């Protein structure tokens, strides 16, 4: 690859990579990824690292901006040392963000052998609120400052405010700032910071250092749309059908399924701070099983409760569910899968494996859960052929 660390070159951003960085061709050959750039940006770039296949660079001077650029609405936005970088797309219009997310979905589907022009692939559903939408956050603190860790510089960046937080979460953040300096938050030897998980239901007196809050979707308005999507697709099903839900968390989708009157629902999550409260809720028709779903030996516990599920609902973590093919062999009665995913590449991997087991992707709804980021949620329906 051409170029050495510290050298500069002129170029134009031609596209975006899967992580949301601009892609720029070096005049002497090679490809560089540049944070904080958008297709159409022309400028001067400085190489920060490189290997035989590709490298990274930073924008030194913007010579000709993309027409989609705008001034970011946060003083902490940026990619240099001392800037947050947590909302990497805040410098472009929201319409351009949505177009790029849809392009990424269709591009990755095409690469995996799925037809992105199929009517089963819907347009990305945007968020009505692009600021004040986020109901949870994880802050880092060294006892003297509080903020986020920059994904680019990996340093703690103190912030005075965060405009993407919703009202209650934002108010709690300002309460936390008022607690500084806080000796109780000083990191132990060998650590640079502690973390504070907060959400819109957290109170200052109930806050625990270095303890994760139960998982919840980070955009409540979009979460309501996700639940409505599932309800709409379950509406025509007989209420006696056997439904198995994996990675149920604290019951975000379970409560909707139960409210619809389904009488045979088996849900599973690992033992911990989510599954016990879910079991204690006593939702009608719902049996809760604590199981580490990444360990196939635990699936027998599910089979003991529901040996022949017909519908599978799953919302796995970012890594997806690589055991899905084996799971489908163990439960051949499954005819429909509703797959909610926060990671497009792993979703495509799992769907491709399910296709080998006789399933077709019949409906896919991309959804923007986190404006100003490359993240895209996907809601898929797979039917056994």
CA pseudo-torsion sign 304, 305, 309, 314: negative
Whole-angstrom distance, CA of residue 375 vs CA of residue 101: 8
Indicate which residue of 24, 50, 87, 342 is catalytic: 342
Q: Please indicate if the annotation marks 217 as binding a ligand.
A: yes
Q: Please indicate if the annotation marks 183 as binding a ligand.
A: no
Q: How many CB atoms lie within 10 A of CB 216?
A: 17
CA pseudo-torsion sign 265, 268, 271, 272: negative
Question: Assign residue 249 a region: left if phi > 0, alpha if psi is -120 to 50, beta otherwise?
Answer: left
Identify whether 342 is a catalytic site residue: yes
- Asked if the bond preceding 265 is cis, omega within 30° of 0, the reply is no
Question: Assign residue 252 a region: left if phi > 0, alpha if psi is -120 to 50, beta otherwise?
Answer: alpha
Q: Please indicate if the annotation marks 173 as binding a ligand.
A: no
Residue 129 DSSP symbol: -
Cα Rg of the chain (Å, integer): 23
Whole-angstrom distance, CA of residue 74 vs CA of residue 159: 10
From first CA to last CA, the distance across the chain in angstroms is 47
Q: Please indicate if the annotation marks 247 as binding a ligand.
A: yes
From the number of C-beta atoms within 10 Å of its C-beta (0-12, 13-18, 19+), residue 81 rates as: exposed
**Numbered residues of the known binding site:** 217, 247, 269, 315
Q: Which residues are catalytic?
A: 342
**Numbered residues of the known binding site for S-adenosyl-L-methionine:** 217, 247, 269, 315
């Amino acid at each position: 690859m051409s170029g050495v660390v510290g050298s500069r070159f002129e170029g134009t951003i031609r596209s975006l990579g899967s992580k949301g960085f601009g892609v720029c061709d070096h005049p002497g050959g090679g490809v560089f990824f540049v944070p904080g750039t958008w297709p159409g940006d022309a400028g001067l770039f400085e190489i920060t690292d490189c290997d035989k296949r590709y490298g990274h660079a930073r924008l030194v001077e913007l010579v000709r901006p993309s027409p989609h650029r705008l001034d970011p609405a946060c003083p902490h936005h940026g990619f240099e040392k001392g800037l947050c970088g947590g909302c990497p797309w805040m410098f472009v219009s929201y319409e351009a963000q949505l177009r790029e997310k849809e392009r990424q979905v269709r591009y990755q589907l095409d690469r995996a052998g799925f037809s992105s022009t199929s009517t089963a692939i819907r347009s990305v559903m945007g968020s009505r609120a692009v600021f004040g939408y986020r109901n949870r956050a994880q802050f880092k603190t060294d006892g003297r400052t509080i903020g986020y860790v920059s994904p680019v510089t990996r340093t703690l960046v103190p912030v005075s405010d965060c405009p993407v937080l919703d009202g209650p979460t934002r108010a709690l953040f300002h309460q936390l700032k008022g607690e500084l300096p806080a000796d109780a938050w000083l990191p132990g030897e060998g650590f640079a910071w502690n973390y504070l998980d907060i959400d819109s239901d957290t109170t200052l007196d109930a806050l625990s250092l270095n303890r994760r809050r139960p998982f919840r979707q980070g955009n409540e308005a979009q979460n309501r749309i996700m639940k409505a999507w599932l309800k709409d697709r379950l509406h025509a099903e007989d209420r006696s059908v056997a439904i198995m839900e994996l990675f149920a968390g604290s019951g975000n989708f379970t409560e909707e399924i139960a409210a619809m009157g389904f009488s045979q629902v088996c849900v599973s999550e690992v033992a911990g701070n989510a599954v016990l409260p879910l079991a204690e809720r006593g939702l009608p028709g719902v049996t809760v099983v604590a199981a580490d779903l990444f360990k196939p030996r635990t699936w027998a516990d599910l089979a003991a409760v529901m040996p022949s599920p017909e519908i599978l609902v799953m919302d796995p973590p970012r890594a997806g569910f690589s055991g899905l093919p084996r799971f489908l062999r163990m439960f051949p009665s499954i005819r429909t899968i509703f797959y909610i995913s926060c990671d497009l590449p792993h979703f495509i991997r799992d769907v491709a494996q399910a296709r080998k087991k006789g399933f077709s992707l019949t409906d896919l709804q991309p959804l923007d859960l986190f404006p100003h980021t490359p993240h895209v949620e996907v809601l898929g329906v797979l039917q056994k052929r």
